[in-house]
């Protein structure tokens, strides 16, 4: 078994080498620097190009295909690290020592037990709910367990509200940001601090996701197994059997790959909510809501549905032509930032190939995916710089691990919660409420027409 997981490490290092070779002609990026606010930026629709804050958490470079967490290359993290270590790294800013990692793991083990939350969640029709709305509901229910924000002493003071209200800060056009955090999730029980709530969420989302999956299969949720790693326990709680070493390793890598990705839509949504001095549970709820959409995390489920719809690799060419003629977006392709191959798709691609080779029912799906990648590349790839993104191969990988398509996006959230919480905590150190503007292009000076004359 060790040999088999060693092979996976080698595959990742080979993918890293290929990435370096293929992007070697791209110019070296201008490295980043601290900003002097206010700054000038060229902004496109959808806030493209806008810089909303400074961050030390992660870096994405679209032409080199770099993804870096706290200074570490994603390929190295996939090859050598674990999701627990990576979550600690994102939140705490450094890799843990052995003792710190043990302590962190112990916390996650304890926080995975969400019996009260699951009891409350099961009073809803989870079996027929959209899985992301069930996850969001479950996440908000966990809030009751350790945040006391509904109580008087847990609420931010009026001064906090006023300080963060954009209308009370006379700098709408010249933002300088707050110098200090004005709210740090500190108002809970004595032994709870801000990061503790983040650990609670990182552990808890896996339990809720697995419970939703079980309930949809008509089964009872399983208790977490404290002996297992985060990845292995997630698979165990979903499938009811302890995963093999290879399955555990693949799940772990998938979780590492999805943990953080700059100011993506769901991270931004979580940060916007936090910036109003709402709490981290509401923030993560907003992240889940934003991740649900097919242009973001929902694409992974749609990719597998597309591959099933195409049916056979021989149908790929005509399917792509038809889809492009109708101006449809092909799920799992394209990215706002990457104008080269997404490094996450490189890793997931080799993992999908490795798993599909020995999985007769998934093999045809993988073959169709390969044909689709080639055809999209030929028809628009080079011209528009459209390549497979993280969502293209993840569904195939998850299918090989025994996970149902409707659970793919919740699994994305199980991982991305590390990035959401890390970035929210970091942003709150210099919080300023998010408040961009829209250019009004409507009419003025219209006379009011009474209802009976319209
Ligand atoms: N299929 C076909 N054409 C595409 C695609 C695609 N998937 N993506 C982009 N294009 C074309 C687009 O039509 C446009 O062409 P033109 O310049 O001729 O009008 C050009 O490429 C630029 O696209 P855009 O829509 O302006 O790019 P964007 O940065 O606004 O959107 C995106 C990025 C990811 C939303 C988009 O590529 C897309 O909708 N992809 C499909 C959904 C998907 O796979 N989402 C997962 C994203 S990665 C992980 C995550 O965030 O969860």
Mean per-residue pLDDT, 15-40: 89
Domain 299-400 has CATH 1.10.10.60: no
What residue's CA is closest to ligand 1, atom 3? 329
Does ligand 1 lie within 6 Å of residue 297's CB atom?
Answer: yes
With a cut of 80, say whether residue 201 has pLDDT above it.
yes
Q: State the pLDDT at residue 1.
A: 58
* Ligand 1 centroid from CA 336, angstroms: 7
Q: Do the domains 79-294+407-428 and 299-400 sit in the same CATH topology, yes or no?
A: no
Specify the ligand 1 atom closest to the Cα of 291: 52
Which residue shows structure tokens 């990742």? 12
Q: What's the confidence (pLDDT) of residue 116?
A: 86
Per domain, the residue ranges of the chain are: 79-294+407-428, 299-400
> Ligand 1 centroid vs 11 CA: distance in angstroms?
28
- 289, 306, 329, best to mutate for ligand 1 pocket (most atoms within 8 Å of CB): 329
Atom 35 of ligand 1: nearest residue by CA position:
295
Active-site residue, 180 included: no
pLDDT of residue 31: 73
Lowest mean pLDDT among 69-83, 171-185, 196-210: 171-185
Tens digits of residue pLDDT in 234-250: 999 999 999 999 999 99
User: Has residue 182 got a pLDDT over 70?
Assistant: no
In the block, residue with structure tokens 């101006």: 327
Q: b/e per residue, 315-334, with b = 16+ CB within 10 A? A: ebeebbeebeeeeeebbbbb
- Quickly state the pLDDT bin for 187 (edges 50, 70, 90): very low
- Residue-level pLDDT at 176: 47
Nearest Cα to Cα of residue 89 among 106, 79, 74, 110: 74
Nearest CA to ligand 1 atom 9: 334
pLDDT tens digits, one per residue of 91-147: 999 999 999 999 999 999 999 999 889 999 999 999 999 999 999 999 999 887 655
Q: Hey, what's the torsion of the CAs at 217, 221, 222, 228, to 10 degrees?
A: 90
> Quick check: CB of 296 below 6 Å from ligand 1?
yes
Q: Kindly calculate the radius of gyration of the chain based on its CA atoms and give it in whole angstroms.
A: 23
Instruction: Identify whether 296 is a catalytic site residue.
Output: yes
The pLDDT of 295-301, averaged and rounded, is: 93
Ligand 1 pocket, residue 331 CB under 6 Å: yes
Number of alpha helices (DSSP H) and beta strands (DSSP E) in the chain: 19, 3
Instruction: Name the strands in the sheet holding 58-61, side by side, starting at the edge strand that comes first in the sequence.
Output: 58-61, 66-69, 72-73
Residue with the larger pLDDT of the pair 167 and 447: 447
Report d(CA 12, CA 77) in Å as an integer: 10
Of 62, 9, 1, 30, give the one whose Cα is nearest residue 263: 62
Ligand 1 midpoint to CA 295 (Å): 8
| 391 noted as active-site residue | yes
Distance (Å) from CA 372 to ligand 1 centroid: 16
pLDDT higher than threshold 80 for residue 174: no
- Rounded to the nearest angstrom, the gap between the alpha carbon of residue 173 and the centroid of all alpha carbons in its chain is 31
What confidence score (pLDDT) does residue 384 get?
Answer: 93
pLDDT tens figures, 373-422: 999 999 998 899 999 999 999 999 999 999 999 999 999 999 999 999 99
Q: What pLDDT score was predicted for residue 175?
A: 44
428-437: average pLDDT: 93
Which residue's CA is the nearest one to ligand 1's atom 30? 336
Mean of all residue pLDDT scores within the chain: 90
Residue 150 to residues 154, 177, 187, 200: CA-CA distances in angstroms?
7, 28, 11, 18
Query: From the CB of 300, is ligand 1 less than 6 Å away?
Result: no
Q: Is 142 in the pocket of ligand 1 (CB under 6 A)?
A: no
Q: Report the pLDDT value the prediction gives residue 279, as an integer from 0 to 100.
A: 86
Q: How confident is the model at residue 359 (pLDDT cuts 50, 70, 90)?
A: very high
First CA to last CA distance, the chain = 76
Residue nearest to atom 15 of ligand 1 (CA): 384
pLDDT grade, residue 194 (50/70/90)? confident
pLDDT in tens, 134-173: 999 999 998 876 554 455 555 555 555 444 444 443 333 4
Task: State in Å: Cα 348 to ligand 1 middle.
Answer: 20
Q: Which atom of ligand 1 is the closest one to the Cα of 336?
A: 29
Three-state SS at 389? coil
Per residue in 42-81, pLDDT (tens digit) is 999 999 999 999 999 999 999 999 999 999 999 999 999 9
Query: Which residue is associated with the tokens 């056979």?
Result: 312
Catalytic residue among 230, 296, 342, 354: 296
The model's pTM is 0.91
Q: Is 299 in the pocket of ligand 1 (CB under 6 A)?
A: yes
Give pLDDT, residue 188.
39
| 261 Cβ inside 6 Å of ligand 1 | no
CA 184 to chain centre: 23
| Helix spans in 230-298 (H) | 230-239, 245-258, 265-275, 280-291
Q: Judge whether residue 277 has pLDDT over 60.
A: yes
- Classified by CATH at the fold level, domain 79-294+407-428 comes out as Citrate Synthase; domain 1 (1.10.580)
């Amino acid at each position: 078994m060790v040999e088999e997981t060693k092979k996976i490490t080698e595959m990742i290092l080979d993918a890293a080498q290929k990435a370096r070779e293929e992007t070697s002609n791209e110019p070296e990026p201008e490295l980043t620097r601290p900003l002097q606010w206010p700054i000038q930026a060229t902004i496109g629709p959808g806030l493209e190009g806008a810089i909303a804050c400074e961050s030390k958490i992660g870096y994405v470079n679209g032409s080199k295909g770099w993804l870096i967490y706290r200074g570490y290359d994603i390929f190295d993290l996939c090859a050598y690290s674990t999701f627990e270590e990576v979550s600690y790294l994102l939140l705490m800013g450094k890799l843990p020592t052995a003792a710190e990692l043990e302590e962190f793991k112990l916390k996650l083990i304890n926080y995975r037990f969400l019996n009260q939350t699951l009891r409350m969640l099961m009073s809803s029709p989870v079996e027929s709910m959209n899985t992301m709305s069930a996850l969001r509901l479950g996440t908000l229910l966990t809030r009751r367990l350790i945040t006391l924000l509904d109580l008087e002493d847990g609420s931010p003071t009026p001064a906090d509200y006023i300080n963060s209200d954009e209308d009370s800060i006379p700098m709408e056009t010249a933002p300088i940001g707050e110098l200090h955090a004005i709210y740090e999730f500190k108002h809970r029980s004595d032994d709870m601090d801000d990061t503790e709530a983040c650990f609670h969420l990182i552990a808890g989302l896996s339990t809720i996701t697995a419970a939703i999956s079980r309930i949809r299969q008509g089964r009872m949720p399983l208790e977490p197994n404290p002996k297992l790693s985060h990845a292995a326990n997630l698979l165990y709680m979903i499938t009811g059997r302890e995963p093999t070493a290879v399955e555990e390793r693949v799940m772990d890598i998938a979780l590492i790959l999805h943990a953080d990705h700059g100011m993506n839509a769901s991270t931004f949504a979580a940060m916007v909510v936090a910036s109003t001095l709402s709490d981290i549970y509401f923030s993560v709820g907003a992240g889940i809501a934003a991740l649900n959409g097919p242009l973001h995390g929902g694409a992974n489920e749609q990719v597998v549905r597309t591959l099933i719809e195409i049916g056979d690799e021989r149908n790929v060419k005509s399917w792509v032509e038809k889809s492009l003629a109708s101006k449809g977006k092909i799920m799992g392709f394209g990215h706002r930032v990457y104008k080269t191959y997404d490094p996450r798709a490189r890793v997931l691609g080799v993992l999908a190939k490795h798993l599909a080779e020995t999985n007769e029912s998934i093999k045809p799906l993988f073959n169709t995916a390969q044909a689709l990648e080639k055809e999209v590349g030929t028809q628009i790839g080079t011209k528009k710089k459209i390549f497979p993104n993280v969502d293209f191969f993840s569904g195939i990988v998850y299918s090989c691990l025994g996970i149902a398509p409707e659970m793919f996006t919740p699994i994305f959230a199980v991982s991305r919660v590390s990035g959401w919480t890390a970035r929210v905590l970091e942003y709150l150190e210099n919080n300023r409420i998010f408040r961009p503007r829209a250019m009004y292009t409507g009419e003025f000076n219209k006379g009011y027409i009474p209802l009976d004359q319209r």
